[in-house]
Amino acid sequence: MTRSFGHALTTFLLAADPLVSLSAARGLVVIRVDDDAPPGGDGMGWSTAFDDLQDALALATVVASGGEDVEVRVGQGTYRPARRDGDRALSFEVPENVSLLGGFAGLGTPNPNARDFEAFASVLSGDLNDNDVGRDYNETWDENTFTVLDAHGGPGDMVEGFVITRGVNVLGASLGIGGGVSIIDSDVTIQHCILRENYALAGGGAMLIAGMAPRIIACDFLNNGSGLIVGLPDTGKGGAVWNLGSDAVFERCRFVGNRGATGGGVRISGGNPVFRSCAFIANEVLAFGGGVTTAGGQPSSPHIENCTFFGNSARTAGSAIYHNQSQQIFTVDSCTIWGNTGAPPVSPLSPGIEMFYSLVEGGWTGAGWENIDADPLFVDPVGDDGIPGTEDDNLRFSPDSPGINEGNPDYVSEPGQLDLDGHARVLCGRVDMGAYEFGIGDFECDRDVDLFDLAFWEGCFTGPDNGPLAAGCESFDFDGDLDVDFEDYGGIQRAFAGP
């Protein structure tokens, strides 16, 4: 379907009767798109799905402007903002009152509404000519979209369940910022997405965030870059994310293998972002802040809690964390910072960094208290590939780890607060140091799962959607949905260590 036909179809449907033509029930309009659909669809069902995501978003924009909430449901497949050799400046524009949802089985399956982000991957790709090679910017990327997705939604809107890849933002009209996703003055939620191999010359290889307080939940930022990967050390602000004056919240996110000049994982230039239960692994910078850095003239007071920093590197300062504003407090609470290289892990030792209840290699002599310098005893810090600082590293604590139940004793988990595995954030009475909470399945809190724990299973069983959990039963809620049912039983079987 051509774009002109899609816009004509939109006009026709709305002119006829938008409420009757688009939704049987007022309040939510569902539009479907599937790259295997035949041309000429109207998006009102899977059998008549749009074949082009741009046409679905064009219809969604008009419907949302009339006061309706819209869901655009995207079947598995690959979607590009423009055709082959098309306009690099085109992005997928997601307006306010529109949620963009991927991971649907779509056409040709027994249940097109079935949803699984991995099994039914919905890919938003900036590789317009489908010819990219390698994980680093090179000449095969020169026709790619500048920014794959622009999210403009409010706090009730969501982008969920996509792989977002190969946005390549270079200097010029595009400003060279935000290769994968751009979020400007928006409170949208980006959830369960993978942002992989995006690039922006000036900064924010995977994501640019400016203003407001969007939420980034359970997303992976993998092998994105800025500046450094084309040998320009004076550029590259945030290999994965550049936060400009935003109070964004990141929960249960992984930043792995991202590279830049400053802030391999995240560069913060103003604002007070929060990071909870996140992992920063093998991010690299030429200058400072292998994992996270603050820099620039705008005041920044980030808060990082229950995060793990491992295998990050910086040549100048702060292989894990760097903060350059002594008058603004950068809080590090209940974290593990270990195995980072090239410079002291946290620097400078200024009054601006306050660290509490954290496990820090080399110790911490700055402001704060109750920090320890002890091997965290990760389960397998090199993973199956034998290389530390890669995606397969198992940075969960082994049973003898000194970081178990040694996090902030005053930490109170909010309802639904989870660790990086999606388990309850507090088990056995006190939060751990780092992104993962030890003790799932361990009802007795003796650091193993055996028949004595299984004896309590029946008393904790609630059945599906029948929470809340009884006190102490959080250890049996493997999928983090606040009940204990047969969905969790597979988890207890895997955790069972014997008598």
Q: How far is 171 from 179, CA to CA, in rounded Å?
A: 11
DSSP string, 83-146: -TT--TT--EEE-TTEEEEEEE--TTSS-TT-B-TTTT-EEEE--TTS---SSS--GGGTTS-S
Q: What is the pLDDT of residue 22?
A: 38
In a domain, 444, yes or no: no
Structural domain ending residue among the three candidates 403, 422, 443: 403
CA dihedral sign, ordered 478, 480, 485, 490: negative
333 and 467 fall within a common domain: no
Q: How far apart, in whole angstroms, are the C-alpha atoms of residue 308 and residue 276?
A: 10
Percent of the chain with pLDDT over 70: 92
Within a domain: residue 471?
yes
Assess if residue 422 is contained within a domain.
Answer: no
Asked if pLDDT for residue 272 goes beyond 80, the answer is: yes
Domain that holds residue 478: 451-495
What tens digit of pLDDT does each residue of 444-493 get?
Answer: 999 999 999 999 999 999 987 777 888 889 999 998 888 999 889 888 88
Average pLDDT score over residue span 177-185 = 96
Q: Are residues 34 and 152 in the same domain?
A: no
Same structural domain for residues 393 and 463?
no
Both 110 and 150 in a single domain?
A: no
Q: Please check whether residue 421 lies inside any domain of the structure.
A: no
Distance from C-alpha of 266 to C-alpha of 247, rounded to nearest angstrom:
13
The answer to whether residue 368 sits within a structural domain is yes
Is the same domain home to 343 and 458?
no
Mean pLDDT, residues 128-151: 91
Residue 461's CB is within 10 A of a number of other CB atoms, namely 17
Does residue 410 form part of some domain? no
Task: Output the DSSP codes for 28-53.
Answer: EEEEEE-TTSPTT--SSSGGG-BS-H
75 with 143, same domain: the answer is no
For the stretch 308-331, pLDDT in tens is: 999 999 999 999 999 988 889 999
Average pLDDT over residues 293-314: 93
Mean pLDDT score, 6-16: 34
Q: What is the pLDDT of residues 16-74, one digit of tens each?
A: 333 323 333 347 999 999 999 999 999 999 999 999 999 999 999 999 999 999 999 99
Where do we find the tokens 């922006």? 200
Query: What is the spatial distance between Cα 21 and Cα 36, in angstroms, rounded to a whole number?
Result: 23
**Sheet with 28-33, edge to edge strand ranges:** 28-33, 69-75, 98-104, 158-160, 189-191, 215-217, 249-251, 274-276, 303-305, 330-333, 353-356, 367-369
Unique residue bearing structure tokens 């059945």: 463
d(CA 431, CA 413): 9
Whether residues 194 and 259 share a domain: the answer is yes
pLDDT tens string 239-253: 999 999 999 999 999
Whether residue 172 is found in the same domain as residue 231:
yes
Alpha carbons within 13 A on the beta-carbon side of 265: 32
Same domain, 267 and 148: yes
How are strands ordered across the β-sheet holding 122-125? Answer: 77-79, 122-125, 163-165, 194-196, 220-222, 254-256, 279-281, 308-310, 336-338, 359-360
Last residue of a domain, one of 341, 368, 403: 403
Residue ending a domain, choose from 388, 403, 418: 403
In Å, what is the CA distance from 362 to each residue of 353, 354, 375? 16, 16, 10
Q: Is 415 part of a structural domain of the chain?
A: no
Residue 159 resides in a domain: yes
Q: Are residues 236 and 331 in the same domain?
A: yes
Tell me, yes or no, whether 192 and 240 share the same domain. yes
Number of domains into which the chain is organized: 3
Whether 434 and 336 have beta carbons less than 8 Å apart is answered as yes
CA pair distance 155, 187, nearest whole angstrom: 5
* DSSP 8-state assignment for residue 413: P
Q: Determine the straight-line distance between the first and last CA of the chain, rounded to whole angstroms.
A: 62
Same domain, 229 and 110: no
